Amino acid sequence: MMLSRQTRRAYTTSVGASRSRHTVAITREIPGSFINAVAAHSANQVSDVSDVSLALARKQHHDYLSNLRKHIPTICLPPIECQPDCLFVEDTVVAIDDTAVITQPGHLSRRGEVDSIKTMLLQLGIANVYDMREIAGEGATCDGGDVMFTGRHLFVGISARTNNDGFEFLSDAFARHGLAADSIISVPPVAAGKEILHLKSAVTHIDKHTLLAPTGSIGDTVLEALGAAERGYEAIRLPDILSCNAVAVNGHILAQASKCEISKYRIEQACNKRNLGLTFVDTSELAKKDGALTCCSVLLSV
Ligand code: CIR
């Protein structure tokens, strides 16, 4: 048991009866140092940054924010210049309804991003805030990009960024607030940390029963590791892996404006069939630093 007694606050609502509506999103502006952000799917490698355009990244991020704001009130925090990856706020917190876990990001260079997110969550009045850094110590790590809550299951991908202690911590925190133990699932590191950075680099949900996943072996192994079919998920398979990362916000999907027409067509069909709104947003410049769509926001229900 990883949570100390002092941190076990009284709670009145349950994530087990998850409210599906998100009420506020947290995002962060891109710092000038973004060109030095971590890249190349590895904790130790930094890519050649020469081809990253800060101006284009900012323009794409601005478009992302404009589209997000059509579906949810959105807070945009100021950039932290000494934290090149700070726009990727998703990695710093996992939130379901009134419970949030502040993470200890797996990459050392990203740990300075976390405090200001915690302050924001406390200001927003999230009832139950657990801080992995304080309670679990150095051992537990987690990037929010490895965590997918579909509304029915909380999948936690073990990767180069998220470890078993991180999973245990999340599991303990959310189980305390009503998530059934058998709906919290640790996903073995079949692809995350290898071909891809995070679990959600390869798979995201568009509703409680539908996942986007790549065609080919990465998709096959990830879906198998999730136990997707047995757990009642239909997978929409997309040739473009970047297109598999989409934001589902209040009945609307923000999907990647990929050059892959087949991927866009399949997403469009899937959304139409499910009566979901759809907007394509281009974040290809952020992808050069391993960013996709979900990583640029944290969706909260407060
Ligand atoms: C990193 O390597 O940590 C960042 N350059 C990219 C993080 C993207 N996060 C996410 O997809 N959740």
Cβ pair 193, 159 in contact under 8 A: yes
CA distance 31 to 58: 9
Catalytic residue, chosen from 198, 205, 252, 271, is 198
Q: How confident is the model at residue 18 (pLDDT cuts 50, 70, 90)?
A: low
| Ligand 1 center–CA 240 separation, angstroms | 18
Catalytic residue, chosen from 142, 244, 271, 295, is 295
CA distance 242 to 293: 9
The confidence score (pLDDT) of residue 194 equals: 72
Q: Which residue matches tokens 């202690």?
A: 165
Exposed e or buried b per residue across 237-253, where buried means at least 16 C-beta atoms within 10 angstroms of its C-beta? bbbbbbbbbbbbbeebb
The confidence score (pLDDT) of residue 10 equals: 29
pTM (2 d.p.): 0.92
Q: Identify the residues whose C-beta falls under 6 Å from ligand 1.
A: 37-39, 85, 88, 90-91, 107, 110, 143-145, 197-198, 289-292, 295
Please confirm, yes or no, whether 198 is among the known catalytic residues.
yes
Q: How confident is the model at residue 12 (pLDDT cuts 50, 70, 90)?
A: very low
* Segment 85-102 mean pLDDT: 97
CA distance 156 to 168: 10
CA distance 56 to 136: 39
Does residue 64 surpass a pLDDT of 70? Answer: yes
pLDDT, tens digit, 9 for 90 and up, residues 119-134: 999 999 999 999 999 9
Q: Which tokens belong to 203? A: 């798979």
Pocket test for ligand 1, best of 197, 283, 294 (most atoms within 8 A of CB): 197
Exposed e or buried b per residue across 82-96, where buried means at least 16 C-beta atoms within 10 angstroms of its C-beta? ebbbbbbbbbbbbbb
Q: State the average pLDDT for the chain.
A: 90
Does residue 49 surpass a pLDDT of 80? Answer: no
Does residue 197 surpass a pLDDT of 60? Answer: yes
| Ligand 1 center–CA 26 separation, angstroms | 16
CA distance 13 to 11: 6
Q: Which residue matches tokens 């998850």?
A: 18
* Residue owning the nearest CA to atom 5 of ligand 1: 38
pLDDT, tens digit, 9 for 90 and up, residues 134-147: 987 779 999 999 99
Does residue 228 surpass a pLDDT of 50? Answer: yes
Q: How confident is the model at residue 190 (pLDDT cuts 50, 70, 90)?
A: confident
The confidence score (pLDDT) of residue 94 equals: 98
Pocket test for ligand 1, best of 49, 52, 85 (most atoms within 8 A of CB): 85
Pocket test for ligand 1, best of 90, 92, 290, 293 (most atoms within 8 A of CB): 290
Does residue 48 surpass a pLDDT of 80? Answer: no
The confidence score (pLDDT) of residue 138 equals: 74
Q: How confident is the model at residue 192 (pLDDT cuts 50, 70, 90)?
A: low
Q: Which amino acid is at 211?
A: L
Please confirm, yes or no, whether 209 is among the known catalytic residues.
no
| Residue 201 Cα: closest atom of ligand 1 | 11
- The contacts of residue 288 (CB under 8 Å, 6+ apart) are 39, 47, 51, 52
Q: How confident is the model at residue 191 (pLDDT cuts 50, 70, 90)?
A: confident
Helix residue ranges per DSSP H, 128-274: 132-135, 164-176, 216-226, 261-273
